[in-house]
């Protein structure tokens, strides 16, 4: 039986804005198995961001349960949530969020600095391997300003990989990139998913990007509108090969 990485049961999230209560999520249930590549789609206001925050253990549900790798998130304190993020989740953001004036290697090492079980030598090894995994082995000493957008996002992916998380959580990770670089990132994601068996949850609003995943969850007004398997998953590598060759990298 495949292991369930995410188990979400009747999840609701409400915000109190002054005198009004906003129902961002109105009852969502779904599971994600290990090794799945899921995209979560939805227009703005669909509760996509709220769901992402909860999945990323940055926020907790008002009602309902969320189990991440068997851990009930709802019962955890702020500090325990931080530790859970450190051990089990790798974030990739739209704006890369690399530290300015910091080399790629140092940036990738960052999550491991908050894990005291990892020694300095181990930390360096793992950061180097993570950078190799995103094909940036020759860019260790480059700072964000010396890297292209796609390269920066790959450093961010390496940073998300370095702590060997159970799930990579990407938030509009291709949102700031042109289509060619987007495909490159998606190709990398697909490779991590198929070759290394990483579970990936990818939040996007572009159907084009969603077509690279094995499953799409469509959100609308705080409920799941559609949860469908993508039978003919496109290969980003092939799409990339089909694009006209351009001069710039």
Binding residues (CB under 8 A) for another protein: these are: 53, 56, 58-59, 78-79, 82-83, 85-87, 91, 93, 97, 99-102, 106, 110-111, 113-116, 120, 159, 163
How near is the Cβ of 24 to another protein at its closest, in Å?
A: 12
How near is the Cβ of 93 to another protein at its closest, in Å?
A: 7
**Residue 116 or 195 having the CB closest to another protein:** 116
**Residue 56 or 222 having the CB closest to another protein:** 56
How near is the Cβ of 236 to another protein at its closest, in Å?
A: 26
Give every strand in the sheet of 4-17, ordered side by side.
20-33, 4-17, 63-68, 71-72
**Residue 115 or 179 having the CB closest to another protein:** 115
How near is the Cβ of 103 to another protein at its closest, in Å?
A: 10
How near is the Cβ of 160 to another protein at its closest, in Å?
A: 8
**Residue 49 or 230 having the CB closest to another protein:** 49
Q: Is 183 exposed, middle or buried (0-12, 13-18, 19+ CB in 10 A)?
A: buried
**Residue 117 or 138 having the CB closest to another protein:** 117
């Amino acid at each position: 039986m495949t292991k369930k990485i995410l188990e979400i049961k009747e999840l609701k999230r409400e915000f109190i804005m002054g005198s009004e209560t906003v129902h961002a999520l109105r009852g969502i249930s779904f599971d994600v198995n290990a090794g799945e590549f899921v995209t979560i789609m939805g227009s703005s206001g669909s509760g996509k961001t709220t769901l992402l925050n909860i999945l990323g253990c940055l926020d907790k549900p008002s009602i309902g349960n969320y189990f991440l790798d068997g851990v009930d998130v709802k019962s955890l304190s702020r500090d325990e949530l931080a530790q859970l993020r450190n051990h089990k989740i790798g974030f990739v953001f739209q704006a890369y969020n690399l530290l300015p004036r910091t080399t790629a290697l140092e940036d990738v090492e960052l999550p491991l600095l908050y894990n005291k079980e990892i020694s300095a030598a181990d930390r360096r090894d793992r950061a180097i391997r993570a950078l190799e995994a995103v094909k940036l082995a020759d860019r260790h000493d480059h700072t964000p300003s010396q890297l292209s957008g796609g390269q920066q996002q790959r450093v961010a992916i390496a940073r998300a990989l370095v702590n060997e998380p159970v799930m990579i959580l990407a938030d509009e990770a291709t949102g700031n990139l042109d289509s060619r670089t987007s495909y490159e990132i998606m190709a990398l994601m697909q490779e991590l998913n198929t070759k290394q068996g990483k579970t990936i949850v990818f939040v996007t609003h572009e159907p084009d990007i969603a077509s690279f995943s094995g499953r799409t969850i469509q959100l609308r007004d705080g409920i799941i509108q559609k949860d469908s398997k993508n039978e003919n998953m496109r290969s980003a590598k092939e799409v990339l090969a089909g694009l006209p060759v351009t001069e710039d990298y």
